[in-house]
């Protein structure tokens, strides 16, 4: 069987300028941040980023890599508004398509099923169609007269997701309390890359996953597997670790001031690889006197 293991930099090297990239996770929860950081190190630009957004969207906007953002929200959860995205949105630095969360989900489902649209009640009576006048409604063809929104497919060139466990063949298990919609991101994409806390032999993956319901990302969906311990940092990745709230607070504070952000980026993001980033994070927590990893 094919061994799909690769580095994060090798995975993102296959992403080209102008592509549409879907990013799994939810807000500041189980985001594929090691892959996002690899994107930051890459020369790629002019991306359309599709996400239930968090720091993935914010960081890519701050780096000038986003042409358009398609999202249901962009939040750090414990901090309601992602600061870099807020600045990019308010300044008009990126094009934006803000969808009702249900419409966003329907768009993923339409793309996953290769349908021209998915009917959904979300968005009806809201400002979503006013701000996106290309959206259309459809009337029930069976005669009820019911009118619903026709959510367009969110077709992706590439999906990036982070899993708790994976095997070298590209199967992955999401063992936390919420799988969000990472499987739909992969189904909606032409190709997908998964990072994981651990990469195990297939037989061990079945045992470690605990139940078949956790094995939602299947090998036919994935082109590459990246072993990335703490690869979701600073977002949470239960049951392995929680959100690094101290680091997230430092991130948000730095984002408010250009000089502070330059220093933050130099310390944490302008690193040659993921290992150097993780070392810088450990040094941040050691200086604070936190326990190892700093997450809760």
State residue 88's pLDDT score: 97
**Mean pLDDT across the stretch 222-235?**
98
Domain hosting residue 161, numbered range? 8-102+154-227
Say yes or no: 196 and 276 in one domain.
Answer: no
Q: Are residue 221 and residue 270 in the same domain, yes or no?
A: no
pTM of the model: 0.95
pLDDT per position as a tens digit, 18-53: 999 999 999 999 999 999 999 999 999 999 999 999
- The stretch 132-142 carries a mean pLDDT of 94
Q: Each residue of 139-164: pLDDT tens digit?
A: 999 999 999 999 999 999 999 999 99
pLDDT at 1: 65
**Total structural domains in the chain?**
2
88 and 208: one domain? yes
Task: Look at residue 122 in the predicted model and tell me its pLDDT.
Answer: 87
Q: Are residues 55 and 165 in the same domain?
A: yes
Query: Does residue 112 belong to any structural domain of this protein?
Result: no
Residue with token string 């414990």:
78
Q: Would 167 be classed as within a structural domain?
A: yes
> Is the same domain home to 71 and 171?
yes
Regarding whether 263 and 209 lie in a shared domain, the answer is: no
209 and 254 both lie in a single domain: no
174 and 257 in a single domain? The answer is: no
Confidence label for 123 from pLDDT (cuts 50, 70 and 90): confident
Q: What is the CATH number of the domain that holds 217?
A: 3.40.1080.10
Same domain, 257 and 195: no
């Amino acid at each position: 069987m094919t061994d799909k293991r690769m580095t994060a930099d090798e995975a993102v090297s296959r992403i080209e300028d102008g592509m549409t990239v879907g990013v799994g996770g939810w807000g500041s929860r189980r985001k594929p941040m090691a892959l996002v950081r690899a994107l930051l190190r890459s020369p790629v630009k002019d991306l359309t980023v599709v996400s239930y957004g968090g720091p993935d969207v914010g960081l890519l906007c701050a780096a000038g890599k986003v042409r358009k953002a398609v999202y249901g929200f962009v939040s750090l959860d414990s901090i309601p508004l992602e600061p870099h995205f807020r600045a990019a949105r308010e300044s008009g630095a990126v094009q934006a398509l803000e969808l009702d969360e249900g419409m966003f989900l329907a768009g993923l489902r339409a793309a996953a099923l290769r349908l021209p649209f998915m009917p959904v009640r979300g968005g009806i009576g809201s400002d979503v169609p006013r701000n996106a006048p290309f959206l259309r409604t459809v009337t029930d063809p069976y005669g009820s007269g019911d009118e619903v929104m026709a959510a367009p497919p969110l077709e992706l060139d590439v999906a990036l997701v982070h899993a708790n466990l994976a095997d070298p063949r590209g199967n992955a298990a999401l063992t936390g309390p919420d799988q969000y919609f990472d499987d739909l991101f992969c189904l909606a994409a032409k190709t997908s890359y998964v990072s994981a806390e651990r990469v195990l032999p297939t037989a061990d993956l079945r045992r470690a996953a605990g139940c078949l319901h956790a094995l939602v990302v299947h090998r036919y969906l994935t082109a590459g597997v990246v072993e990335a311990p703490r690869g979701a940092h600073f977002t949470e990745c239960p049951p392995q670790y929680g959100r690094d709230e101290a680091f997230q607070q430092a991130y948000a504070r730095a984002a408010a001031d250009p000089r502070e952000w330059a220093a933050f980026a130099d310390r944490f993001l302008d690193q040659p690889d993921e290992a150097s980033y993780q070392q810088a994070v450990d040094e941040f927590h050691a200086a604070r006197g936190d326990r190892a990893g700093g997450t809760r």
